[in-house]
Structure 1
Amino acid sequence: MTDNAATRAAAARKLWRYAGMLAAAALLCGVLLGGLSAWFLGSVAIAGLTSAAYSFNVHIPGALVRLFAVGRTAARYGERLAGHHAALADQTTHRVGLFEAMAAAPAVRGAGWQLADQARLADYLDDVEDLDLARLRADLPALLLAAGLIGALIATAFVAPLALTPIIALLCALGAMAQQLARAGATSWAQTRLLRRQAAQQFGAALTSAVPLQAEKAWAGRCTDALGRFSQAEEAQHALRLAQAGLDALASLLGPVAGVSIFAAAWFAGARGEALLIPAFLAFSWIALAETAQGPSRMVVAALRRRAAKAEIERWIGTATQPAHSPTRSPAGLTALHTSMQRRAPDRRPLGARLTLALTAGRPTILTGASGAGKTSLLKQIAGWIGQDSMESETGPLSAEDRRRMAMFCPHDAAILTDTVRANLFAPALPDEELWQALEAVEMADRIDAAGGLDGWIAQDMLSLGEAQRLNLARAWLSTKPLILLDEPTEHLRADQGQRILARLVERLDDRIVVMSSHNATGLPDAATIRL
């Protein structure tokens, strides 16, 4: 730690001590104000019924009431000033170390997400704020509340010990509910964060890729899915707020329950008249203590948000343990498809005579013909995007809906989402090694490495047509679907490059049914060609 950092840390500790003392003074003045006010009113009432009213001195307790009221207000403002000053001092020290660590993290440095990924940037800023202010929002209030409760319980044990039973029972219920809120709240908050980020990324990517997505008739589905995730995030947040409201409602009973219990215990112990003044002081002190401790759910939520923020930031700076990747899922069993279908245009018009198809795994099928012959439409029909044809497989008939689930369709002008390279590869569960293998196979590894790696940010206009096509073929390489449909896979590529990449891809997919369209036969060995 440098001399400047050590000086800042020492200054912050000093400010936190001031803030703690002022907060303790505010709590003490509030408790004494509540207890003394009740004692004062009770004393005046009792003295007013006797001759003692003529000699009762109201000036000293009245002055103390005003003193505690002014002291509570002054201490609260002082605690706010000192506490926020201390929090800002902590921010300086904390953020210097945080940014230094992030600057040294290869993943963050390579991705450049701070400038491009607005959803992650917004989450990051929220996380830093949750870390910076957790001490002010959670630690200091919880420490003061614990000290106040210990003092009040000790005083109750001396004045009205029978009242401890309902008070401790309520405190135990509050503790159990707070633990339940912490567990359920952590899950709800993590779900809320994930859904909001996914929704923002999907919706932003859909907006920036509106034209190609509409051409592929995927625009409505992308938008509906994104907005649905926003709704799910709000539902998770609503569940957290309901849990908070339940804890706060139970906490609001602490003052009344403690006050009534103390009065009842003192009354059953035989206290009458002036003997009730001390229990009244204690009872109203409990009420004042409970009033200052309103909203304990905020402390719990601040603590769980700090844990979530710390884990997320540690992940970015490379200190968190990365979860193990799930193994690659093998494709579903599908080795043959055959049918006699009526070809149709996208508007469902019939095209030409019926066509007999026999598609086999390990032997790619190439659809050739001039532009407008219906090659792309036939691929979409095989994929189940057009019409309701049924195709026979070794396990029985497959409807259009079945084939939509089993097919990976790669259009020749596929959309490049405004997102990371990793997100654009559509294989989030696969390890980085497999993603890089796919990029090397389509001769895009060097280009992606120069752009920032798998977490680099890309958009439609950042890639040439050939680069976008090769990224599209990498999606097919990584797909686990048993039916792979490639629309003009070598378009926008040099002839020799297209042949190399296609040969690698067909070899990779030799256990799948592969159908592709091309203006001319590609020269792949053992390929079946259908001219339209």
Structure 2
Amino acid sequence: MSAVTTPVPAAGQSPVRRLLPWLATERSRLALAILLGFLAIGSGVGLLATSAWLISSAALQPPILTLEVAIVGVRAFGIGKGVFRYAERMVSHDAAFRVLSRLRLAVYDRLAVVAPAGVPAYRRGDLLERLVRDVDATQDLPLRVLLPYASGALVALASVVLAYFILPASAVVLLVSLALASTVVPWIAASAAADAERASAPARGALNADVLTLLDGAADLTVSGAAPAWLDRLAEDDRRIGRLAARSANASGLASALGVLLSGGAVVAMLLVAIPAVRSGELVGVNLAVLVLLPLATYEAVVAMPTAALALGRVRGSAQRVVEVLDAVDPVPDPESPAEVPTGVVGVRLDGLRASWPSGPEVLEGLTLDVAPGERVAIVGSSGSGKSTLLAVLAGFLPYDGSVRLGDVELRDLRGSDVRTVVGWCPQLPHVFDTSVVENVRLAKPEASDDEVRAALDAVGLGPWLDAQPRGLNTSVGDHGALVSAGQRQRLGVARVLLAGHPVVLLDEPTEHLDEATAEVVAAELLRALTGRTVLWVAHRPHGVAALDRTVRLP
């Protein structure tokens, strides 16, 4: 997809209104879809009205030529109803999916900005629900709310105008019935299900979060005997969602019943108005059938409105959860006038650094450290001393007080994306995706050639292993790296850093999950591969630390 400017809706608006800028990006397609929907429903109204006139007129046995136009009209309306409906579905879904892709990209972009400091505010399963199902639910706004109301209103207006030209009094009957069906009935349905529709999205998020928690901790929960309690919790989550769905279904059934009642009542009222008009000569007899069937035909224009009102309630609940992600506060906002990115091998200087994770205690208090360009320093200390917090600050993920300089540039004066072109971070357990080795490493530099990727892998000692694999670079790593060892997974993470060419490299306990022999080998290979770069190596274990230039202990 080509580059698209992300809409910037005003803060403080309702969640649904916050989605409108994304809809506006497809206004032409949505307008065409509304027109096609109008023509589809209008063809249905025209088909029934024309058929009624044709049958009534044919009963009088007029010359066949007087019926030809009506006969052609019936055929045209019959064909047009299906064709226009198909075209409307194609255009409206195309527009909705385009809007959906832009909105999903905006949510991804926002998560990329606020992570990792802003992500722990959400449970993992709940965040997944927001990212997938809640974003998907917003497509109901154009498809099940906007289009039914807009096209239905146009058809209803056209039908009232038609009734007026046939018999003015009948237009009043039709207008009143359609107004009630399009306003009062949806309001009743929406009011009956309002709480249920708003609560359904958070309830699904809670269920998804509990399911993932149970799956992730199944072994520990089973050993501790807590699994039955969690299963009961899931059952209660499921029952709650079932109760909410039942309330929505009851509201939908009530709306359908009221709609049928209004439609039938409009037919009776139309008879009461039209029959006297026929007797008085005000209405031509053949038009009586047209007026009587017109409320039934036009009901298609408003039958979807109660459902649209219920859909709007669901959209509100999901939109609120999506907007919460879009409004997540950036822990480290970009400066208005960013500084130039430092080039070459740069040093790191900390002066009075103070930092902490959101809602957590301050673990770095006045830290001062000077790392020369190309120097390799071990950072050691007890758990909770701030080692990982220090790396998060240097990677641009956490705000700080004091001074942090990369070369001659203050860290906070750089854009976050620029910081991460200078600083590369390899965590304890680098995430590997269920794809090939080459694609996992190429994440760091999408334009890199296979030869460049292979060079990075050779540098971290994976060359012999790759040579022994039948598929070489295309060897699969499996789900969560199930087909590679912990040491190979760690090397893949460092290979990414090497391929990206970061002059400053942060290593967060790279040998923590390796056995003694593998840890020694991996440490030696990492140090050799990182020669000439500024390295901060957070360590709990001694492997590789002795080969570094010096060791700094955090209190």
Please give the residue correspondences for 1:19-58 in structure 2 after superposition, counting only pairs within 5 Å: 19-45=33-59, 47-48=60-61, 53=62, 57-58=66-67
Q: Which position in structure 1 is the counterpart of 2:27?
A: 13
Q: Which moved more, 1:193-202 or 1:151-160?
A: 151-160
Unaligned runs of 5+ in 2: 7-21, 330-355, 365-381, 399-428, 430-485, 487-508, 510-555
Q: Which position in structure 2 is the counterpart of 1:153?
A: 160
TM-score for both structures, normalised by structure 2: 0.52
Aligned length: 342
RMSD: 4.4
Q: Structure 2 residue aligned with 1:194, among 196, 202, 225?
A: 202
Q: Which residue identity does 2:139 align to in structure 1?
A: D
Contact conserved, 2:185 with 2:306, CA < 8 A, in 1? no
Quickly say closer, same or farther: Cα 1:279–1:141, change in 2 above 3 A.
Answer: same
Contact conserved, 1:163 with 1:261, CA < 8 A, in 2? no
Q: Which position in structure 2 is the counterpart of 1:127?
A: 134
Q: Which position in structure 1 is the counterpart of 2:233?
A: 225
Counterpart CA distance in 1 for 2:116 and 2:196 is: 27
Q: Structure 2 residue aligned with 1:296, among 301, 305, 308?
A: 305
Counterpart CA distance in 2 for 1:148 and 1:108 is: 51
Contact conserved, 2:130 with 2:322, CA < 8 A, in 1? no
Percent identical: 20
Q: Which position in structure 2 is the counterpart of 1:312?
A: 321
Q: Shift of residue 36 of structure 1?
A: 0.9
Q: Structure 1 residue aligned with 2:69, among 56, 60, 66?
A: 60
Contact conserved, 1:9 with 1:93, CA < 8 A, in 2? no
Q: Structure 2 residue aligned with 1:81, among 80, 90, 102?
A: 90
Q: Structure 2 residue aligned with 1:436, among 321, 338, 360?
A: 360
Deviations 1:64-91 (A, max 9, x none): 1111211222221222222222223333
Q: Shift of residue 10 of structure 1?
A: 9.1
Counterpart CA distance in 2 for 1:208 and 1:183 is: 39
Quickly say closer, same or farther: Cα 1:189–1:257, change in 2 above 3 A.
Answer: same
Please give the residue correspondences for 1:26-425 in structure 2 after superposition, counting only pairs within 5 Å: 26-45=40-59, 47-48=60-61, 53=62, 57-104=66-113, 106=114, 110-111=118-119, 117-156=124-163, 159=167, 161=169, 164=172, 168=176, 171-172=179-180, 175-271=183-279, 275-318=284-327
Unaligned runs of 5+ in 1: 321-431, 465-532
- SS across alignment from 1:310: helix
Contact conserved, 2:189 with 2:252, CA < 8 A, in 1? yes
Return the structure number with greater relative CO, CA threshold 8 A, min gap 6.
1
Counterpart CA distance in 1 for 2:182 and 2:24 is: 36
Q: Which residue identity does 2:145 align to in structure 1?
A: A
Quickly say closer, same or farther: Cα 1:34–1:306, change in 2 above 3 A.
Answer: same
Counterpart CA distance in 1 for 2:220 and 2:106 is: 44
Contact conserved, 1:178 with 1:247, CA < 8 A, in 2? yes
Counterpart CA distance in 1 for 2:82 and 2:181 is: 32
Q: Which residue identity does 1:37 align to in structure 2?
A: S
Q: Which residue identity does 1:278 align to in structure 2?
A: N
Q: Which protein is bigger by CA-based radius of gyration? A: 1
Quickly say closer, same or farther: Cα 1:109–1:241, change in 2 above 3 A.
Answer: farther
Counterpart CA distance in 1 for 2:217 and 2:249 is: 36
- SS across alignment from 1:265: helix
TM-score for both structures, normalised by structure 1: 0.54
Counterpart CA distance in 2 for 1:445 and 1:152 is: 74
Deviations 1:144-195 (A, max 9, x none): 1122223333444561526745862674376234224334434213323333
Counterpart CA distance in 2 for 1:131 and 1:61 is: 43
